[in-house]
Structure 1
Amino acid sequence: MADCISYEETFYFSKLIIDYLAEKKSLQQFYQHFPSLENFEKQLQEKQKNYSTKTRKVLVKSLQQQYKNMLISASTEENIQALAQENTFTVTTGHQLNLFTGPLYFLYKIISTLNLTESLAEKYPDKNFVPIYWMATEDHDFEEINFFNFNEEKIQWKKESKGAVGELSTEGLQEVLEQFSSKLNSSENAEYIKSIFKKAYTEHATLTEATRFLANELFGKYGLVILDGNDKALKKEFSPFVKNELIKQTSFKKVTETTEKLESEGFKIQVNPREINLFYLKENLRERIIKEEDLYFVHETEIRFTENELLKEIENYPERFSPNVIMRPLYQEVILPNLCYIGGGGELAYWLQLKEFFEVEKIPFPILLLRNSALLITEKQDKKIKNLNLRVTDLFLNQSDLETKRTNEISKIDIDFSVQKKHLQQQFEDLYALAEKTDKSFVGAVAAQEKKQINGLSHLEKRLLKAQKRKLKDELDRLVNLQDQLFPKQNLQERQANFSEFYQAYGKGLIQQLKQELNPLQQEFSIIYLS
């Protein structure tokens, strides 16, 4: 029930990602191993040599503490216990604490991670592989996460926010539940959606706890392990790297060098490093650390430290130091026995800026895998596609291009004036020859007249196309309406819609079908016909 097209054919992915998937030579210096089952053997060996038993013990203890008040599946419990063993490794994805999971691709990230661990377990049966969802609890951009879309309507949580979003109180989400509930129907699936929203956001005190409950509710039975990096014991393990960052500013130097190399290859840059890539974190506060001469300042506060005072602060309160987008990947790879990071195109773009930094810090650089992407098509939409005699790939076109292509296909008259233009150019070739023989100053006038007449034909062609579009309006309206359903706001469905739209219609079968259809190592865009 699924088709695939290349990422390039979708027109929604950057040159960087297309070239990465094609293993272009220009990008090979920016990653260690390309994602294939065979390459995981090398990654396993590298990680095994560079991950300590002590860190493993701290990780397991922290996870047990984070899960202590939760009912969890036997699979998740087994996976947490397995992390204590030397032959256990992780595959990780990360995501913001978006309200009710946010965009649909949250599901694709997690399912890609689950499915890859299962493939690895088959390939390497003497090892254990644990799927990790890293919650971005320390982010502070509330405006990015305080809403989700349901049937193209924005369901928003309005609240004052300061500091790390994971620590936000869930107060006020009862009103959001009431707003959301009014949009749902009265089906059994809708009642389940209401119940998990209610349990997540009205029965848990913080956004971290609510998100952990929700992700566990949806994926716990598959053994997903949910990790909060905002953890004192885990940050204590990372503190030597924090000290190094503050004193030497290694990340700024190395990432800047790599960034310049990427730019010289013609790629756009995702992030720019700061001189210090850490925040200072306390209640209602997450601000950049800045060094000026011999003092360290916390941006927009009165907090300041000498170097010795700052080193003591790290020793006593490692939880107060929060990595930014440049340092967070290193933190992840230091505290996890991780082999692979699964992310979207934007995420992989900034990871590709980090390899030299990892080499200096002597931490193995993980395999980078583009998460699955998909277009979900309902039975009703599939019928419309067939009735319109469409190819699904046409729907990925820009809307104006789609209308033009369709008009040309179904119009009873030929709108393409290429033949006429070619005939005109042949006539002008004779005039050019005549001008050369008689008066060369006449060539410019011939060229101007040629351009004028070609432009005239192009103008007539556009007018005819416009007239035909008016004449075929009913069919084009049906086409545009269908594209708007599948590509809301002319964007990929997965970046706009929320899983609840589909869960209301398909229930638990939605996740089961996605898990069955999505193959993370296939590296193609999936078109899934829901059943």
Structure 2
Amino acid sequence: MTAYIKKIFKSYGETSYTQKLLNDVLQTVEQQQNFTDFFTSLMNELFTAHGLLFMDAAYKPLRQLESPYFSQMIENTEAMAKSIYYTEQQLQADGYAKPIESDEQDANLFYVHDTGRVLLRRKDGKFVNEQAGISFTAQEMHQLAKNEPWLLSNNVATRPIMQDLVFPVLAFVGGPGEIAYWSLLKEAFHLMGINMPVIVPRLSITLVNRQVQEALKLTEITMTQVMNHELPELLEKWLEQQRDEQFDRLLTETQSQLQTQYEQLQSHLETSDPGLLQLLDKNLQFHKSQFDYLQKKKEQSILLKHHVQYERYHVISEQLFPEGSLQERLYSPYFYLNQFGEGLIDELLKQPYTFNGSHQLVYL
């Protein structure tokens, strides 16, 4: 892990913030024993002044607190599974994707087995996982919920409900994928005797540094065009404008003339010396490959000539939509903390965001 983190930070480049950030992360590696505690420690350090609270869902005393709710879920498992399944079928009929591919026989609970968590299904009145060779009657499930609730765990459908039963939830803040599967759960909440909380789309932002701002200005590309995924088309159009049309025309004419000459040679050899036809074809393929090579070299020469402008397109693409995804999907926050320091988090939290589900832009 230490070697991996050093490699990542090396790829960021050295700034005045790098050494402290790296040392803090490496110190956390030494202090923690697993990924969960490592992540929690890092986040606590970054948000120490902002009241961020973490809860370990597998914490034994918490599971004991959840005991009666597990029993209630076991009691209502069939009705909940059907409500989720039929809601998902209706969503699909209305033209939406199926968020979780639910089934009427789902139990929507995990059992913590020796090999890890295994998902349970309902079959012939029992709760089973055939691959793990596990089978419980409803009564046995109730005993587990009462005496060993830490052996039970929620899945994607029952986790939101358990969260609302255990905590005083004012609102659930979720991303697009989470909100999609929450859309299946209204009736399931009601079956458990509670209402769904308010659902708020989580904040989604793109950070626009000065390098990108300059690149946008010099390419005359707008953020609207970038956020509408028009950049690949704009780059293709720009590349087309840089082509040497006369060179392309001459090269095409030369290829056409050569093809005509070889066809005449082929016609002659078919009657005079058929044994050379294979060699003739091989010779033609060689010339075609040379034309391709020349074409590629010409394109490289054009890019080299205009490499500064081409690099600006590359910067916009890699900074704003790395590998075709939003920054939040690919980049670690440390990529930006390395550029702007840990104070960046405080500054980001001060910004006047609009919490209406729209994507936000923050200029650095």
Change (3 A) 1:518 1:285: farther
1:358 maps onto 2:189 in alignment:
yes
Gap change, CA 1:470 and 1:266, over 3 Å in 2:
farther
Distance in 1 (alpha carbons) for counterparts of 2:5 and 2:236: 43
Matched, 1:384 2:186: no
The residue number in structure 1 matching 2:334 is 500
How far is 1:403 from its partner?
3.0
Q: Which amino acid aligns with 2:333?
A: F
- Aligned equivalent of 1:483: 316
The equivalent of 2:4 in structure 1 is 176
Residue 482 of structure 1 aligns with an amino acid whose one-letter code is V
Measured in 2, the distance between the counterparts of 1:407 and 1:280 equals 57
Identify the residue that residue 234 of structure 2 maps to in structure 1: 402
Matching residue of 1:342: 173
Q: Deviations over 1:328-365 (max 9, x none)?
A: 11111111101111111111111111111112212221
Q: Structure 1 unaligned runs (5+)?
A: 1-172, 412-468
Query: Shift of the alpha carbon at 1:176?
Result: 2.4
Moved more, 383-392 or 214-223: 383-392
In structure 2, C-alpha distance between the alignment counterparts of 1:330 and 1:183, rounded to whole Å: 42
1:177 match: secondary structure: helix
From 195, 206, 212, the equivalent of 1:375 is 206
Q: Is residue 242 from structure 1 mapped to residue 77 from structure 2 by the alignment? A: no
1:314 partner SS: helix
- Compare relative contact order (CA 8 Å, sep 6+) and give the higher one, 1 or 2: 1
Structure 1, residues 40-71: CA drift from partner, whole Å, max 9, x if none? xxxxxxxxxxxxxxxxxxxxxxxxxxxxxxxx
Instruction: Identify which of 30, 33, 45 aligns with 1:202.
Output: 30
SS at match of 1:277: strand
Q: In terms of Rg, which structure is larger?
A: 2
**Which residue matches 1:462?**
none
Give the alignment's TM-score, normalised by structure 2: 0.74
Report the Cα offset of residue 472 of structure 1.
Answer: 8.3
- Does the C-alpha gap of structure 1 residues 387 and 359 become closer, same or farther in structure 2, counting only changes over 3 Å? same
| Separation of aligned partners in 1, 2:119 and 2:126 | 14
Matched, 1:526 2:355: no
Give the Cα–Cα distance (whole angstroms) in 2 for the partners of residues 319 and 203 of structure 1: 26
Aligned partner of 1:140 in structure 2 is none
Which whole-Å deviations, capped at 9, do the CAs of 1:395-443 have from their partners, x for residues lacking one?
23244422356579999xxxxxxxxxxxxxxxxxxxxxxxxxxxxxxxx
Q: Over aligned residue pairs, what C-alpha RMSD do you find?
A: 2.9
**Deviation of 1:190 (Å):** 1.3
Using the alignment, how far apart are the partners of 1:409 and 1:256 within structure 2? 53
User: In structure 1, how many angstroms separate the alpha carbons of the residues matched to 2:50 and 2:339?
Assistant: 22
Q: Could you say if the C-alpha distance between residues 291 and 353 of structure 1 is closer, same or farther in structure 2, counting changes exceeding 3 Å?
A: closer
Judge conservation of contact 1:273–1:326 (CA < 8 Å) in 2. no
User: Structure 2, unaligned stretches of length 5 or more?
Assistant: 244-298
Q: Secondary structure at the match of 1:200?
A: helix
Distance 1:510 1:313, change over 3 A: same
Which residue of structure 2 aligns with residue 313 of structure 1?
144
In the alignment, the residues of structure 2 paired with residue 244 and residue 507 of structure 1 have an alpha-carbon distance, to the nearest angstrom, of 48
1:225 aligned counterpart, secondary structure: coil
2:17 to 186, 189, 200: 189
> Cα offset for 1:255?
0.9
Q: What amino acid sits opposite 1:330 in the alignment?
A: I
Q: Does the residue aligned with 2:350 lie in a helix, a strand or coil?
A: helix
Q: Is the 8 Å Cα contact of residues 297 and 304 (structure 1) preserved in structure 2?
A: yes
Give a deviation string over 1:7-48, Cα, whole Å, max 9, x none: xxxxxxxxxxxxxxxxxxxxxxxxxxxxxxxxxxxxxxxxxx
SS at match of 2:48: helix
Distance of 1:303 and 1:256 partners within structure 2: 24
Q: Are residues 1:516 and 2:347 paired?
A: no
| Matched letter for residue 316 of structure 2 | Q
Residue 278 in structure 1 maps to residue 109 in structure 2: yes
Report the residue type matching 1:509 in the other structure.
G
What do residues 286-331 of structure 1 show as CA deviations (whole Å, max 9, x unaligned)?
1112333244334432333333222212211101111111111111
Shift of 1:471: 11
Per the alignment, in what secondary structure is the counterpart of residue 112 of structure 2? strand
Relative to 1, partners in 2 of residues 1:285 and 1:219: Cα closer, same or farther, differing over 3 Å? same
Residue pair 1:279, 1:289 contacting (<8 A) in 2 also: yes
Q: Does the residue aligned with 1:517 lie in a helix, a strand or coil?
A: coil
Residue correspondence of structure 1 range 112-191 to structure 2 within 5 A = 173-191=1-19
Give the residue type in structure 2 aligned to 1:217.
E
Q: Is the 8 A contact 2:215 2:316 kept in 1?
A: no
Number of equivalent positions: 302
Answer 1 or 2: which has greater helix percent: 2
For residue 49 of structure 2, what is the aligned residue in structure 1?
Answer: 221
Identity %: 23
